[in-house]
């Protein structure tokens, strides 16, 4: 029965994605939502209820993508003057691991209290007209108990806007007592994330989305060379490469001393090590961007990325050829 429900839900998500994809470019897109028409015919009287906002982590996506959804919900709840309601990740183990559901009321709990879900149209956060429309829709429900649900994959560019909150949740999560690392405290541990897996197939079938995410091994070699040739550290260097594939696909990296290939480590353990690395070298991937937001170490990240970075000394941006300014890293080393 459970498998049948999952298949049904998956089919419904696909159908909805097709419908939204068809109507989104249209000027009348927002009019396909019941919430829009509620706003048009509402008397909009003052209300007494505390309402909520949530975003559903995309069940068909990987954890980096799901985290982007969750963070968008957390951020926009604040922007719209609403409380945040937690929606579980596709695997609840990630809720526990991240601590993101702790001390947050869940959508399920609110539904049991009589709240109802109301879906909002997608909006461009940089478009004041679209933002204002969502605010008007929200205000039109101020006499009801409502959980506003962001449309799937509502985009939020500068995800670092919630960095303090998500760091607090992660480092105070009950799961931290079970953390196990292969790093040695005697070393300065450098973690590199090289996105492969699905992105390799994307180069072969010319998937435009995956083509944008591709970085060849030379980029990461250049970043490491620039670190090792320009920065002096008090501890011995240990390098850990997190990716997928056969070791021969990363043969260029064998020239670096004390390098460890973590090609078969599971996603959660890889994520954990990226968070705790002294220096994290990210790729054009949400899977290493999110650990960078949680990390209290140094981060070297591709400047050409679709999410923003905070203007802090621990985030160092590299060009497409792996070059970056050393000043901040030198001051922190």
Element (H, E) at 264: none
User: Coil, strand or helix: which one is 22?
Assistant: helix
Render pLDDT for 170-180 as a digit per residue (tens, 0 to 9): 999 999 999 99
Q: Judge whether 115 lies within some domain.
A: yes
60 and 150 together in one domain:
yes
293 and 196 assigned to the same domain = yes
331 band by pLDDT with thresholds 50, 70 and 90: low
Q: Is residue 241 part of a domain?
A: yes
Q: By residue range, what is the domain housing residue 74?
A: 24-177
Q: Is the pLDDT of residue 201 over 70?
A: no
Residues 65 and 107 in one domain: yes
Give percent of the chain with pLDDT exceeding 70.
90
Same domain, 117 and 100: yes
Where among 116, 151, 177 does a domain terminate?
177
Last residue of a domain, one of 177, 205, 234: 177
CA angle 10, 283, 332 (to 5 degrees): 135
Does the pLDDT at position 38 exceed 90? yes
pLDDT higher than threshold 50 for residue 154? yes
Instruction: Pick the last residue of a domain from 113, 142, 177.
Output: 177
First to last CA, the chain: 56
Alpha-helix runs per DSSP H in the chain: 2-23, 34-41, 63-79, 92-98, 107-112, 128-139, 163-171, 198-204, 208-211, 217-230, 267-276, 286-294, 327-332
Q: What would the pLDDT profile of 272-320 be if each residue is shown by its tens digit?
A: 999 999 999 999 999 999 999 999 999 999 999 999 999 999 999 999 9
For the beta sheet containing 237-242, the strands, ordered from the edge strand earlier in sequence to the opposite edge, are 259-262, 237-242, 188-193, 279-281, 298-302, 315-318
Residue-level pLDDT at 203:
43
pLDDT in tens, 212-262: 555 889 999 999 999 998 888 889 999 999 998 888 899 999 999 999 999
User: Are 268 and 198 contained in the same domain?
Assistant: yes
* Residues 301 and 328 reside in one and the same domain: yes
Are residue 196 and residue 324 in the same domain, yes or no?
A: yes
| Within-domain flag for 14 | no
Within a domain: residue 230? Answer: yes
Tell me the average pLDDT across 141-157. Answer: 96
Cα(23)–Cα(124) distance, rounded to whole angstroms?
15
The answer on 293 and 173 residing in a single domain is no
pTM for this structure? 0.90
Q: Do 193 and 165 lie in a common domain?
A: no
Q: Give the model's pLDDT for residue 234.
A: 87
In a domain, 2, yes or no: no
Please indicate, yes or no, whether residues 215 and 264 belong to a single structural domain of this protein: yes
User: Domain count of the chain?
Assistant: 2
Q: Do 170 and 222 lie in a common domain?
A: no
Residue 12 in domain: no
> Is residue 215 assigned to a domain?
yes
What is the CATH number for 267?
A: 3.40.50.2000
- Tell whether the torsion through CA atoms of 21, 159, 203 and 265 is positive or negative: negative
Same domain (yes/no): 297, 243: yes
123-127, 183-187, 209-213: the lowest-pLDDT one: 209-213
- What's the pLDDT score for residue 2? 59
User: Per the domain annotation, does 4 fall within a domain?
Assistant: no
């Amino acid at each position: 029965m459970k498998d049948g429900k999952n298949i049904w839900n998956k089919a419904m998500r696909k159908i909805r994605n097709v419908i939204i994809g068809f109507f989104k470019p249209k000027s009348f897109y927002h009019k396909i939502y019941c919430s829009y028409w509620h706003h048009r015919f509402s008397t909009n009287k003052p209300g007494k209820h505390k309402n909520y906002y949530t975003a559903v982590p995309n069940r068909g996506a990987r954890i980096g993508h799901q985290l982007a959804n969750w963070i968008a919900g957390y951020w926009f709840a604040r922007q719209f003057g609403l409380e945040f309601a937690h929606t579980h990740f596709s695997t609840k183990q990630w809720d526990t691991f991240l601590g993101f559901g702790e001390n947050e009321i869940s959508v399920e709990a609110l539904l049991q209290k009589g709240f109802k879900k109301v879906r909002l149209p997608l909006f461009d956060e940089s478009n004041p007209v679209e933002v204002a429309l969502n605010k008007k829709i929200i205000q039109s429900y101020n006499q009801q108990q409502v959980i506003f649900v962001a449309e799937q994959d509502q985009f939020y560019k500068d995800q670092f806007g919630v960095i303090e909150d998500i760091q607090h949740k992660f480092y105070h999560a009950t799961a931290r007592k079970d953390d196990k690392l292969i790093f040695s405290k005697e070393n300065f541990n450098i973690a590199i994330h090289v996105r492969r897996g699905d992105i390799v197939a994307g180069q072969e079938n010319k998937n435009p989305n995956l083509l944008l995410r591709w970085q060849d091994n030379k980029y990461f070699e250049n970043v490491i060379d620039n670190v090792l040739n320009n920065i002096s550290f008090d501890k011995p260097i240990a390098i850990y490469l997190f990716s997928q594939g056969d070791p021969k696909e990363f043969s260029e990296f064998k020239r670096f001393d004390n390098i460890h290939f973590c090609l078969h480590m599971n996603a959660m353990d890889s994520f954990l090590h990226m968070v705790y690395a002294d220096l994290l070298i990210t790729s054009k991937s949400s899977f290493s961007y999110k650990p960078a937001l949680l990390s209290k170490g140094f981060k070297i990240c591709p400047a050409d990325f679709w999410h923003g970075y905070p203007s802090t000394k621990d985030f160092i941006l590299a060009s497409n050829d792996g070059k970056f300014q050393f000043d901040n890293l030198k001051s922190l080393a």
